[in-house]
Amino acid sequence: MKPRLASLVALAALATSAAVTAAPLGKVTTTNVPEAGLSLALPSAWRRVDAKTAGKIAKESLAKENPQLAGILAELDRPGTGLVFFAFDPAGAKQFATNVNIIVSKIPNGVTLAQLVAASKSELSGIPGRVGEVTSVPTTLPGGSAARSVVDVALANKGKKVIARVTQFAFIRPGRSVVVSFTTRRSGYAHYVATFNAAARSIRFS
């Protein structure tokens, strides 16, 4: 049975005008996410948003500009699936909020990493607005093995078209998948890729 993942790419376009005092460059803060059973280190300047609030914003605002993503957003309400963490970089957030979100989903027992890689590629390939091909490969991180996927998606954001690049790490845990997704504009990916990779390598499961 192929595991179903919750991609929630629409959250990539979450924008906010929240102000924040910049932290020193390179400073990170480790955050515990008990709902996902993990901790990860993110730049200290990034703002955390209550998961329910982030999901509500996605369903109420992003769907208006991106009705083709309604099916993905509906995953927020599917039993056994949930957005449990959301944080974003306030720098440039008025235009596009570079972010990380964590989704926990029920999956059958016995799912293998190879099946998770295949499922990730299949589901991400079906996202409306996908640009180009999806890459999905197995990778080994200090926190465990994961399916690493990258997909570009065209989105409407405040009346403008943007190409979002999502870098996703899907982990298998007993009876569930934990999917950690980092999203930014494709044009800004080079600026953030080191931050994303460092955050992924900081993930530890309890």
**CA–centroid distance for 87 within its chain:** 10
Spatial CB neighbours of 127, under 8 Å, sequence gap ≥ 6: 7, 9, 69, 72, 151, 153
Per-residue confidence band for 72, with pLDDT thresholds at 50, 70 and 90: low
Unique residue bearing structure tokens 């991180």: 141
Residue 99 within a domain = yes
On whether residue 104 sits in a domain, the answer given is yes
Residue 62 lies in a domain: yes
pLDDT band at 81 (very low <50, low <70, confident <90, very high): low
- The answer, as to whether pTM is greater than 0.95, is no
CA gap 21, 98 in Å, rounded: 17
User: Closest Cα to residue 58, out of 193, 200, 199, 183?
Assistant: 183
pLDDT at 181: 92
What is the domain range of residue 156?
A: 9-14+30-205
- Position 2 in a domain: no
Domain count, the chain: 1
Q: How confident is the model at residue 197, as a pLDDT?
A: 94
- Is there a domain that residue 4 lies in? no
- Residue 80 within any structural domain of the chain: yes
Q: What is the CATH number of the domain that holds 151?
A: 3.40.1000.10
Task: Decide if pLDDT at 20 tops 50.
Answer: no
Answer yes or no: is 23 within a domain: no
Per-residue pLDDT band at 15 (split at 50, 70, 90) = very low
Residue 22 within a domain: no
